[in-house]
Structure formats: C-alpha cells, structure tokens
Structure 1
Amino acid sequence: MNKTAVVLLNLGGPDSVNAIHPFLFNLFNDPAILKLPLLIRWPLAKLISTLRVKKAKDIYLQIGGKSPILSLTNQQGKALEIILKQKYSGVIKVFVCMRYWHPMSQEVSQAVKEFNPKQVVLLPLYPQFSTTTTGSAIKDWYKNAKKNGLNVPISTICCYPIITGLIEAHAELVTKAYKIAETMGKPRIIFSAHGLPKSVIQKGDPYEFQVNKMAKAIIQALNVKELDWIIAYQSKVGPLEWLGPPTEQEIKKAGFEKKSVVIVPVAFVSEHSETLVELDIEYAEIAKQSGVRSYQRVPAVATHPRFISALGNLVELAIKKRSGVSSFNGKVYCLSDFNNCPMFKEYLGGC
C-alpha cells in the first residue's frame, strides 16, 4: 500500500514549568542559534538557559505555565490530514515534530519509520525560510532519521511566504481588526516578525526578504487606499544588533502620533508566548501607556480553512516532486544574493 508521511516542523515549547529550563538549553545549544564549537556552545547554553529561566517562567506562568504550541500544531495537523485524505487514495498520516521540546525528531522519525511510508514530506510551519528555524529543523530531522534507519525519499517545502491561501487568511483576519481600530481614526498596521541578528541576514539568510514580500502581499490583498503600515521586529535577545525597527518602538511612535494600531504577527502561524504574552500583554501595556487610541492584535492564522488548504497544496507539490527541496511554487523564489536559500545550493542533498 502506498503510504505517505507528512511531518509538520515547528519550534516547540515547554509543556510544564519543569520543562522550561531544558527547553531553553535545547534552544541555545542549537548550532544554528549559537554558531560556536560544541565545547564552547554547550557550557554557554547551560549558562544562558540558567540565567534566563526565571524570566521565562514568569512569561509562561501568565499563560498557564506551559506553551500551547503543541496542542495548536496538533489541531493544524488534524485539519490538514482531513483535507489530504479527501485528495488522495493512498494512506497519508500527518506527524508533528518539534525542534526544542517533545515530540522531537528522534522520537518522531522512529514513529514515521514504524508507519513504513514510501515517501516523507517535510512541511515547516514557518512561512519564511531561515537557517535558524526551517534550516535547523531540517538538519535535525535528517540527522535523527538517518540514526533511526529511515531511508525513504524526503521531499521538503522550504518556504511559502506569499502562497495564496496564507495571504487570504491573513487579509481576512487583518480586515476584521482594522475595521475595529478605524472607529478611533485611521490605523497604522504594524507587521511584527520575530527578529534575528543582522549578522545572520548578512550571511545570506533570506528571512528578512521573505518577511517583506509577505507583508507587501497582504497589503495588496487588503486593497485599502493610502494604507499606513510598517514592518517591525520583536523578541530581541542578547547584545548583537538585530533587525529593526523594534516593534515596541513603533508602538510608542504610533501613540505619540495619536494613532490606532493593528498588530499582525506575520511570522507566526500559531499562538505561543511571543503572541500571547509579548504582543497581548507586554506590548498592549506599552500601547496603553503611549497613548495608542486602539490596540488590535490580529490572531495567528492557526486552522483558518484557507491556510490549511494552502498547506494541502504544498503537500501535493512535494509529493509530485518525490524528493529534494522546493519553494511554494516549485521554483527558485529568493534573489541570487541569498546564498543560504536552500534552492541556491544543494541543501542536505536536496534539490
């Protein structure tokens, strides 16, 4: 029987207060995050995770002491599996694989091996490619799949920042928030993406380029004349110079100008601490203190039918490709100066 395993790749998050410290260690021990030799990275990750654990606990206690990302990703997986079973006569099963907390690639690749598929599709839940997210997750999958003896063709979707269903879902959700905000005057839309050190971008990472393309596609879909909007970045950690402007700075600026604000989590497809705490609590308080007239946070696309349908289309593309790496349209999407785009170099024996 023809079996296909679809693996949704996501960041993961602690499932209890006790899991916060090891989750942070796993994050900072990733060579894609701290680009240092293991002998230096391991003790440094121990130190950073220990120093940050109290602050992280305070964050997660505000949302029940754990991350909701696994539950929400499972919901996305179930929704995707339903539409895939309507499309294909073969057996398709969706697996969820997290990068920094369970279920991680070692256990998920073993479960996929036991499923015994003819093909594996890796589908990251990061619309924009970055070496620090999708790239790290793919490398980790290959390493542990090889350890577990999973030896079948793997077809990977590397990015889909402007795929139609994703943009339509965002546009619908933004429109609802915009209509509420504009009752207090013309709003400013702030597309808030997770930040990265500029040094990562300077080495050829296409993340910022793809964030820009996605924001512009949403603006075009909104079709509002003379729209006031900007892209900003959140969640800065450490002393390095990061992408900007900072989201909190743009909120304060909007308050000074007596604007309403619509915040769009443009790089997140499900809710977690960066949206539920940083955007909903911390930045909402900044907006209040800064005089923002109306602060509306757009929800993540989650299981929006158009987004799930778009994921289904990506799986269909990957199945047809059989193996290797492909963007959302099967072609090279990034500009040639992004040498860390997986379609410009052979990525793990991919395209």
Structure 2
Amino acid sequence: MLDASQMTEAGAGRLAHAPGDHPPVPRAKIGVMLVNLGTPPATDYWSMRRYLSEFLSDRRVIDYSPLFWQPLLQLVILSKRPFSSGKAYESIWNRERDESPLLTITREQTEKLRARLAADLGEGVVVDFCMRYGEPSTISRVKAMQAAGAEKILFFPLYPQYAGATTATANDAFFRALMEIEWQPAARTVPPYYAHPLYIEALAKSVEAAYAGMDRRPDALVTSYHGLPKRYLVEKGDPYHCQCAATTRRLRERLGFPTEEVVLTFQSRFGSEEWLQPYTVEEVARLAKAGKTHIAIMAPAFSSDCVETLEEISEEIKESFLHAGGERFDYIPCLNASEDHMAMIEAIVRNELQGWI
C-alpha cells in the first residue's frame, strides 16, 4: 500500500498551459478501493477495546438507542469482551507480520488486483484497500487516493451478500469520507454479487478441490453465513437472508448435490434476541446426532478468512460437532486470494468501470 506522498510523486506533473509557478498536479487517474470489515492492530486489551467500541457503536450493526446501549457497552460489555476477543485473535494471529489474517489476505488481494489491472491499464488505475473499522481507515485511504489524482473512485465492499450491517455501513464510511474532500472525485459502489456466475463457480471449485482431497465424501456440506438479528429482515426489509439462500441454492445446483446434502446456517450470534436461524453451532450438533458423522463446512459470506472462520468455525463450531458425536469435520477455506476469486473480482471491477476506462 502506497502512502499519499508516494502516489502523488509517482504521477505528478504540471497542467498544460498553467503558469510557471503553478504547483504540480497529479495526472488524472481512476481509483479502485477494496474494503473489508476491519481488524484490531493488536490483541491486547486496549487495542481490542478501541476496535470493538468502534464496531459495536455503529448504529448499522447495533441499532439500539445510544441512551440504553452506550452505558451497557462501555461499562459492562467492553470491560470483559476485549479479553475473550483478544484470546480468539491471539489463536489465529499472523505472527510473522504481526497482524490479523484478514489484513494479510486483503493486502494480498489488493496487490494481485493491482497487477491484473496494470497489465493493460498501466498507471492510469490506482488500486488500494481500506477497512470499515480500524486501520487503514476509509477516510485516510480515500484522501490518499484523491491526492494521487483519482478523479473517479470505484468502491468495492467485499461482501457478496448485501446487509445493512456490512455493505451499507462500508458505503456510509465512504460517503462520509467524500464529504471531507473539497474536490470530490466521481464515485461508484459495487453492488452485491451473491449470484454472480464467477463467484458461484469459484465457490464450487473450492468445494470440488476440497472433496477431491478426502478419502470419502462428507455426509453434508454446511454453508455458514455471518448472523443478523431476525427483525432486521422482518422490520427493515434487509435482503441478506434471501441472498444467502440464493447463493447456497445456486452453489448446490452448480455442484449437482441433492437438496438434503447442503445445509444453510448462520453463525456469530450476539446478544439475547432472535437471530437468523438455524444457528450453525446448534445445527452441526443436530447433524451429528442424526448420524451425519462427517461434514464439510464453508463460509460463503466471507471474502477472506478471519476470526469468524479460523477461530469460531475451526474451533468452537467444530467442538460442538465432535462433542455431539461427529467424527470428521473439514473446513473449506474462504476464497481469499485464490486465482478463481481474483478473476471474479477483476471481472466485476472491469464491468463496473465501463464508461470510465
């Protein structure tokens, strides 16, 4: 990731017909910004507390009245949760780079996309990434991209299925960043791609590759999506549940699996209210008790492996399955920076840039 001065210096020049004392102006470019959920900078208590406070204070994520929610969050939840969350992150931390896997993978995705676009677009396109929560912040990267000469920016939330708590809040942060820029670039946002043929194909190939390495076929394939309060669907009309169901259905059809062999579930429930069901941690136990002793599980809502997949699925949910009598539990990694995933991301970017390039 380049900083603002490096990107500006790389493309700076003088405007045609400008007076001699006119300051250098970067050549006009198009920006492509990938955005993911976010990550704490470290696993200690205060790093985790700051990150969780930002995340859980987002009204898109937790929509309770701040008069009720903030005292509960700041005085009760954040007095304990940073310890447990920090322990979870510690178990999957990338010690070589001293960062979370989500940050490592998102950076790799950005670098690969930059190389793919540079093949024919050269320096005319600036590719970078940001996080909705934590660093690098959305506003810092948008300002750096604009300073580098990006007069048009394509903002790409890496969420296949739309939800107010993911895609919408990422776009909110982008729009707020634009409000702080005097000379605003033109802006576009990438729509959800839950049924995109290349996305479904990439998911299917990841399943086929995983199954090819097993000595016997799993009894069930569990597609586990991050959870959402049920009332977000009922009261607010959030399309997330429908789009998750569509992804699983299209994946099953592409694989040619029978309906009963592919299971749709939701994980990461928070709080006491009802969330989208069935809950993954409970459903895998039910499958084990029903005699399905070997399952494979994947997380189609996540573009990169993170604490929800590497810790929650591979540890907590796996333990629930084995404790209920399951014998073999295979986790199929997220698409991450695989060639199939990067080909999909590139195809979507090029399609959304039509008229700009």
Q: Which residue of 1 aligns with 2:305?
A: 271
Counterpart Cα distance in 2 of 1:280 and 1:132: 24
Structure 1 residue identity aligned to 2:197 = T
Q: Which residue of 2 aligns with 1:302?
A: 336
Task: Indicate if the aligned counterparts of 1:181 and 1:261 stay in contact, CA closer than 8 A.
Answer: no
Q: Which residue, out of 178, 196, 208, partners 2:228?
A: 196
Q: Which residue of 2 aligns with 1:115?
A: 148
Of the two, which has the highest radius of gyration? Answer: 2
Q: Which residue, out of 11, 18, 35, partners 2:63?
A: 35
Mark the CA change 1:106 to 1:118 in structure 2 (over 3 Å): closer, same or farther.
Answer: closer
Alignment partner of 1:6: what SS?
Answer: strand
Q: Which residue of 1 aligns with 2:50?
A: 22
Q: Which residue, out of 52, 57, 66, partners 2:81?
A: 52
Task: Indicate if the aligned counterparts of 2:252 and 2:259 stay in contact, CA closer than 8 A.
Answer: no
Counterpart Cα distance in 2 of 1:150 and 1:164: 37
Task: Indicate if the aligned counterparts of 2:146 and 2:185 stay in contact, CA closer than 8 A.
Answer: no
Alignment partner of 1:240: what SS?
Answer: coil
Q: Which residue of 1 aligns with 2:112?
A: 79
Alignment partner of 1:98: what SS?
Answer: strand
Answer yes or no: is 1:318 the counterpart of 2:352.
yes
Counterpart Cα distance in 2 of 1:2 and 1:319: 15
Counterpart Cα distance in 1 of 2:273 and 2:288: 27
Answer yes or no: is 1:211 the counterpart of 2:211.
no
Mark the CA change 1:284 to 1:6 in structure 2 (over 3 Å): closer, same or farther.
Answer: same
Q: Which residue, out of 27, 35, 39, partners 1:9?
A: 35
Q: TM-score, structure 1 length as denominator?
A: 0.86
Structure 2 residue identity aligned to 1:233 = F
Displacement of 1:51: 3.2
Task: Indicate if the aligned counterparts of 2:34 and 2:157 stay in contact, CA closer than 8 A.
Answer: yes
Q: Which residue, out of 308, 323, 327, partners 1:289?
A: 323
Task: Indicate if the aligned counterparts of 1:181 and 1:296 stay in contact, CA closer than 8 A.
Answer: no
Mark the CA change 1:186 to 1:71 in structure 2 (over 3 Å): closer, same or farther.
Answer: closer
Answer yes or no: is 1:68 the counterpart of 2:101.
yes
Q: Show structure 1 runs of 5+ residues with no match.
A: 323-351
Alignment partner of 2:156: what SS?
Answer: strand
Task: Indicate if the aligned counterparts of 2:282 and 2:320 stay in contact, CA closer than 8 A.
Answer: no
Structure 1 residue identity aligned to 2:86 = K
Counterpart Cα distance in 1 of 2:70 and 2:81: 15
Alignment partner of 1:284: what SS?
Answer: helix
Deviations 1:71-110 (A, max 9, x none): 1100001111111122425611211110111011121122
For residues 97-246 of structure 1, what are the structure 2 equivalents within 5 Å?
A: 97-179=130-212, 183=216, 186-202=218-234, 203-225=236-258, 228-246=261-279
Counterpart Cα distance in 1 of 2:148 and 2:226: 35
Deviations 1:133-184 (A, max 9, x none): 110011111112211335011011121011122211111111233345571x
Counterpart Cα distance in 2 of 1:137 and 1:234: 21
Deviations 1:288-314 (A, max 9, x none): 212223211110001121211111121
Task: Indicate if the aligned counterparts of 1:10 and 1:124 stay in contact, CA closer than 8 A.
Answer: yes
Mark the CA change 1:321 to 1:238 in structure 2 (over 3 Å): closer, same or farther.
Answer: farther
Q: TM-score, structure 2 length as denominator?
A: 0.84
Structure 2 residue identity aligned to 1:13 = T
Counterpart Cα distance in 2 of 1:176 and 1:248: 25
Counterpart Cα distance in 1 of 2:286 and 2:121: 51
Displacement of 1:59: 1.0
Counterpart Cα distance in 2 of 1:162 and 1:195: 19
170-179 or 108-117, larger mean C-alpha shift: 170-179
Aligned residues: 321
Counterpart Cα distance in 1 of 2:312 and 2:335: 18
Displacement of 1:45: 3.7
Alignment partner of 2:317: what SS?
Answer: helix
What RMSD, in angstroms, separates the aligned Cα atoms of the two structures? Answer: 2.0
Counterpart Cα distance in 1 of 2:67 and 2:181: 26
Structure 1 residue identity aligned to 2:61 = I
Counterpart Cα distance in 2 of 1:10 and 1:226: 32
Alignment partner of 1:129: what SS?
Answer: coil
Mark the CA change 1:93 to 1:45 in structure 2 (over 3 Å): closer, same or farther.
Answer: farther
Task: Indicate if the aligned counterparts of 1:109 and 1:148 stay in contact, CA closer than 8 A.
Answer: no
Task: Indicate if the aligned counterparts of 1:77 and 1:94 stay in contact, CA closer than 8 A.
Answer: yes
